[in-house]
Amino acid sequence: MIKDAPPLMKFFTLLILCFCTAIQLHAQKSFSLSGTVRFGDDPVAEALIYLYPDSSKQVTSDNGFFHFGSLPAGNYQLKIITADYGELFRKVSVENKNVKLDIDLEEGKSIRLKGIEVRSGNELVSGKLNDVSGTSIYAGKKTQVIHLKNLNANLATNNTRQIYARVPGLNIWEYDRGGLQLGIGGRGLSPNRSSNFNIRQNGYDISADALGYPESYYTPSSEAVDRIEIIRGAASLQYGPQFGGLTNFVMREGPKEKKFEFTTRQTAGSFGFFNSFNSIGGTIAKKKLNYYAFYQYKKGDDWRPNSHYDQHNAYIHLAYELTPKLKITGEYTFMHYLAQQPGGLTDAQFEQDASQSVRKRNWFTVDWNLISVSADYTINQHTRINLRNYTLQGGRDALGILSYINRPDPGGNRDLLSDRYHNFGSELRFIHQYRLFGKEYSTILLGTRAYSGLTIRKQGDGDAGSGPAFSFTGTEPSESDYRFPGLNLAGFAENIFQINKHWNITPGIRIEHINTKAEGYYYKTNIFVASQKITESKENPRSFALLGIGSSWKFDNGTEIYGNISQNYRSINFNDIRVVNANARVDPNLKDETGYNADLGYRGTYWGWLYVDASVFYLKYNDRIGSIFTRDTNFMTYRLRTNVSDSRNRGLELLAEGNILKALTHGKSKYKLNVYVNYSLISARYINTKNTAIANKLVENVPPSLLRTGISFGSPRFNITWQYSYQAKQYSDATNTEITPTAVDGAIPAFSVMDLSLSYNWRHFTIFTGVNNLLNAKYFTRRADGYPGPGIIPADRRNIYCTLQFKL
């Protein structure tokens, strides 16, 4: 055909053939560069990948995948920017073949692979969770991660004020000098043993009874925790209906690149404090078995008398890869502690001498046994299944005098409250990623939960001595003896609809069935006749559905606008009703609480050195259970726990954290100067009530403003950190009482406190030291109506600590 064509056509035909040949030759000499970014076994989605010198840019998919095509042979550099792990740089050579990379961000260490250096830049303590992590969905939700490995703080005592300093809107009760119990509440919810959060360890429940008595008597050792994940009220769809959301402690695992690692940390501090933490970990059996275990012992007194404590804590983690697709993980946690409680103080006693104690016969002991077995199965790169089974076998005993603190110990028999917990749970999760309309990957999550809880609660007279004798007098408890069985069945579903690379919408639903029962007796006290024994059996089944929807828009610079609204629910239980306490009474007609959380915010990492999360929230709480300061017919003052009224909490939460030196030196300085600011404004008031005593009053346990800020300077070898915390005035009851003779109700004045921490590393040794409450501030954060009071519980005065760590 070319031979017979006109000359001009022959010319154009040859020109086209030459052009096509050139394209083909060029295509034969161009290559692709692709890979996966992950943290351990979890893919890292939405990481920004820059390719130099081309200055091309990609964003990793939900599977952590990225791809650059049509690259000529040569040397390149990848710059990887993530919200949680900062910046990483990787040099790679593309020569005569396509290149596939596997980049693991785990542990944020500097590692070398075949002469290529990967530099981790995750120097920040705070960050956010990825949209998809493991078998969980967090898209459009208010989330936060605390990386403890980047935190210079008093971990030996689980210093809550330092560990949670970057979590906005968090009210912290500081009453536990050894870090034995955790008391945090967010956005105007009570911090009482963190009962408004769903508290978990590695994804499974660790509270006393997640259904009937969600109070936390066990707090994981911060020296063994890798990170803390916090999801606000929208966690109600995946983890349970609590208003506060989820707090999940992710424990350390053994290093994957070492067969054996040993760490010992020995700490001494003020008031006889001593802590010994020892751990081993590694990966063996041809890198199929990962193990980690620790044992911790701590003891100490306090600056107040009658306050000695001893704690034992142990943990073992075993994870075995049966096949490349199937991993089985088993964990066991043991904890026991015995603590003497110095009791509370009246306002006058606190002002006179906050170090005094007017109770010497109060004791508290806890035994905790947690067992978990889970299986992770990867069907393919887009589909995974997780099954976790767990049980808690534990208990706690409280012994002492609960009469008003403005009255002396009357002597005689003490009050004993004894609980035993027997809980079993199982959760199944299925997650699948699929292409929506043939473009971006969307993700669906389906899950079920079955939970059986049993609390055996007894209350009556203990002995008349002063030691920790946790046994009842007589043939049966003289106040009450109950069994509280409960059953929870739930199913949930969420789906990330990835509309395009910027925008996603995530609706969800949770269906709950709850059945709580009470079986036992209590004694009704009469003034002129003998006490009457009343036997009862009750059952309260209910079913309901919770709905929620979230959305986010991601910008090319890695920041995003996010919003979410989700319904919440909190069930009352018969546990609360049958506790006999002279300082507090419970309305027998209590009913469940309902409401919702809404968030709207902006977050992200700027320029690889600054993380910002600014948001507003609205929390609607219907039939809120609270305390009213009132008197009975005998003019006795007491707190009535009842459905006070509806409340609305709204506020602003701001967190900013950045490495200033990294910005000034463009990442070339070996030193770092991290500064963070955590500020929140909260307006919480009672509404929709005809009770003039509380109408438009401030909700209790809500500081209107909270400020926590700090600065940290150091290098890979040393660090010095200063922190400042301010908390505004709040109230302990719904009537906003300023002061009462018993100190159970009243105002909690504003206060500020400072902390100083230092560390120095030399080879295998690291020294951590510091001063907590640097200026010796005198303050308190809690008024208790029962244990560990009643009355004002003073916070710790100035104290020092020193930790010597050896790591091999």
Quick one: tokens of 781?
């954060």
SS3 content of the chain, % helix, strand, coil (to 5): 10, 55, 35
Cα–Cα–Cα angle for 346, 347, 349, nearest 5°? 65
pLDDT value at residue 112:
33
Instruction: Give the model's pLDDT for residue 579.
Output: 56
Ranges 79-93, 480-494, 703-717: which has the least confidence: 79-93
The token pair at 473 is 């007098």
CATH 2.60.40.10 residue window(s) in the chain? 7-122
Mean pLDDT calculated for residue range 148-174: 93
Closest CA to 490 of 448, 445, 548, 546: 448
Q: Which of 681, 676, 733, 726 is nearest to 704 (CA)?
A: 681
CA distances from 393 to 207, 238, 333, 335, 577 (A): 11, 24, 11, 11, 23
CA distance 119 to 112: 9
CA distance 255 to 243: 36
Q: What is the pLDDT of residue 654?
A: 96
C-alpha 707 chain-centroid distance: 20
Tell me the per-residue pLDDT of 625-669, one tens digit each, with 9 for 90 and over. Answer: 776 766 665 556 666 777 888 999 999 999 999 999 888 888 788
Alpha helices in 29-144 (DSSP H): none
40/674: higher pLDDT: 674
Contact predicate 247/188, CB 8 Å: no
The answer as to CATH 3.40.50.300 being correct for domain 127-237 is no
What's the mean pLDDT in 690-700? Answer: 88
Confidence of residue 19 (pLDDT cuts 50, 70, 90): very low
User: What would the pLDDT profile of 589-599 be if each residue is shown by its tens digit?
Assistant: 778 889 999 99
pLDDT of residue 12: 44
Alpha carbons 386 and 448: distance in angstroms, whole number: 11
Kindly report the backbone phi and psi dihedral angles of residue 142, in degrees, each rounded to the nearest multiple of 5, phi listed first: -80, 105
Model confidence pLDDT, tens digit, residues 521-550: 988 776 666 778 889 898 889 999 999 999
pLDDT digit string, tens, across residues 32-88:
788 888 776 567 877 888 888 766 777 787 667 788 877 777 788 888 887 556 677
- Residues 187/651, Cβ–Cβ less than 8 Å: yes
The residues near 761 (Cβ < 8 Å, ≥ 6 apart) are 716, 717, 718, 767
- Give the residue range(s) of CATH 2.40.170.20 domains in the chain: 245-807
Global confidence as pTM: 0.85
> Looking at domain 245-807, which of 3.40.50.720, 3.30.1300.10, 3.30.413.10, 2.40.170.20 is its CATH number?
2.40.170.20
Percent of the chain's residues with pLDDT above 70: 89
pLDDT of 60: 81
Strand order in the sheet with 126-127: 126-127, 143-147, 225-231, 245-251, 197-201, 204-205
The highest-confidence range among 570-574, 575-579, 732-736, by mean pLDDT, is 732-736
Q: What is the CATH code for 7-122?
A: 2.60.40.10
Averaged pLDDT, 191-214: 91
